[in-house]
Structure 1
Amino acid sequence: MSTKALDAQPKFAQIKQYIIDNIRAGTWHENQRVPSENELAEQFNVSRMTARRALSELTDTGILTRSQGLGTFVASFKSQSSLLEIKNIADEVRLRNGHYSCTVLSLESMAAVAPIAIALGVEVDSQVYRSVLIHNENDTPLQVEERFVNPTLAGDYLQQDFADFTPHEYLSHVAPLTEARHTVEAIMPSNEVCQWLGLFNEEPCLQVIRRTWSAEGIVSFARLISPGSKYRLGGHLTFKKKQP
């Protein structure tokens, strides 16, 4: 980023960009402590509150991690998705200032075999839609998504250009989600999945099986597979105190 463009940014955004640039350049490594609020405030001639905002926003997006009493550190270089809410993977990548892209491997109509029919609540051998996509971050495969979709709730699914937006974005628009259920497990990937993810050495992968509902019924059944070395699941819970 040019100096002129940097100067035009708000101060907290300049601090964020400074931190991101140091991480990308390899100046600051994984788990390395970054400057404190006081140090950043002095360096950028801003208030401590402004420096805190920059650190907090980068922590919220998973780029940094904070440890009370110890400081703020460069987070582990893994993507993080929440178990508590369904996030759009493209948004997650962009929040990390990464470049998101998608490779469409398959987009077709097929006869539903029994497990798929049961998962979608449709008749066996009825037509359902199937897509297989690779989600990339900075042109590196991050996740394989195989999704089966109920055509009665997303009739134009096969006509979409998922290079421009994700299936999650499209389905959220045409059949707003009201419920989701998922299971998470560690698996050893098949040779095909290894090829899709660019895995040259066998390593465990994280597999999420997810079904989603709208007010009209089951919308989709998806299998999401990510390399264990590049992805993790996490979440944050806030509990209300009991009233006396």
Structure 2
Amino acid sequence: MVSIHQRIVEDIETRIMGGIWLPGHRIPFEHELVEEYQCSRMTVNKALSALAQRGMITRRRKVGSFVASRQIDRTVMDIQDISTEAELAGHHHSHKILRRKVETLDAATAAQLGETTGADILRLHCLHTVDGKPNALERRIIMLAMVPSARTESFASVPPGKWLLDMVPWSKARHVIRAVSADAATARLLETERGKACLTLIRQTWQMSRTVTHVEIIHPGDRFQFAGDFHPTERGVPNQRSKRGSF
């Protein structure tokens, strides 16, 4: 049985993740939550403290609690979308949605993501162009239980990665970079040769233990590179300071 404390956490988290409460929105005062959930003030305080520790909300003494800014997450965790990276480097970016379909999560994909089969997902394919040349093919899955507002979003004006960074908080990410050979379909879209070397970034992001999105981004190997600056820590293990791509 779910405790009242956990129910408060999940209810508030759902409203934030679903875009119902946007950054800066004031969370109901403690006495309002006490009345709504018929519980003690200590229980409410415990729930709000847990949300603050996760970075979901910020608490201001004598003022209240508010939905945290997404910008903090992006700066600390250092995830940028393709369009922002291109524009920061002085290039022109555009995108086109090639596929947009709501599906049910199949067994193979569920195992890959560490999720349960049967969940509703939004599957997207998006072609990114930089300075008039295809630069990346994005294949993305969005978990609709975590991002219900994505169900009706067309992504026509804002690419999926940028939209997610602006709309959805997250707490953990994992990157894998690998070299692949372009198959016929990928080569056609990226205007390269079949079998040509490509760089692929695979990224999965979570909010706590639940997947928000999984994306595979394929770049032509001769038009893109991953680069980073590092510095040694006190133990001599290098830490990455920044990541960037050149177009």
Q: Distance in 2 between matches of 1:90 and 1:189?
A: 22
Deviations 1:106-151 (A, max 9, x none): 1111122223213444322332110000111012110000001110
Q: Give the 5 Å matches for 1:52-201.
A: 85-200=78-193
Check if 1:227 corresponds to 2:223: no
Q: Distance in 2 between matches of 1:133 and 1:99?
A: 16
Deviation at 1:104, TM superposition (A): 0.5
Question: Contact 1:113 / 1:125 at 8 angstroms: preserved in 2?
Answer: yes
After TM superposition, the score normalised by the length of structure 2 is 0.59
Deviation at 1:216, TM superposition (A): 6.4
* Alignment CA distance shift 1:235-1:188 (3 Å): same
Give the number of equivalent residue pairs.
Answer: 159
Q: Distance in 2 between matches of 1:183 and 1:115?
A: 19
Structure with more strand by fraction: 2
Question: Contact 1:120 / 1:150 at 8 angstroms: preserved in 2?
Answer: no
Question: Contact 2:205 / 2:214 at 8 angstroms: preserved in 1?
Answer: yes
Aligned to 1:43: none
Secondary structure, counterpart of 1:171 in structure 2 = helix
After TM superposition, the score normalised by the length of structure 1 is 0.60
Gap runs ≥5 in structure 2:
1-76, 236-247
Q: Distance in 2 between matches of 1:103 and 1:127?
A: 23
Q: Distance in 1 between matches of 2:209 and 2:153?
A: 21
Amino acid at match of 1:145: E
Q: Distance in 1 between matches of 2:209 and 2:81?
A: 22
Runs of 4+ with >4 A deviation: none
* Alignment CA distance shift 1:195-1:166 (3 Å): same
Query: Percent identity at matched positions?
Result: 23
Deviates more, 1:195-204 or 1:141-150: 195-204
Question: Contact 1:175 / 1:214 at 8 angstroms: preserved in 2?
Answer: no
Question: Contact 1:120 / 1:149 at 8 angstroms: preserved in 2?
Answer: no
Question: Contact 1:135 / 1:144 at 8 angstroms: preserved in 2?
Answer: yes
Secondary structure, counterpart of 1:236 in structure 2 = strand
Amino acid at match of 2:184: N
Aligned to 2:242: none
Question: Contact 1:132 / 1:146 at 8 angstroms: preserved in 2?
Answer: yes
Secondary structure, counterpart of 1:152 in structure 2 = coil
Deviation at 1:240, TM superposition (A): 4.7
Secondary structure, counterpart of 1:238 in structure 2 = strand
* Alignment CA distance shift 1:153-1:195 (3 Å): same
Q: Distance in 2 between matches of 1:214 and 1:85?
A: 16
Amino acid at match of 1:179: K
Aligned to 1:6: none
Secondary structure, counterpart of 2:148 in structure 1 = coil
Q: Distance in 2 between matches of 1:108 and 1:201?
A: 27
Deviation at 1:238, TM superposition (A): 2.5
Deviations 1:188-230 (A, max 9, x none): 1111111111114541111121111124621011111011001
Q: Distance in 2 between matches of 1:159 and 1:140?
A: 29
Q: Distance in 1 between matches of 2:151 and 2:100?
A: 6
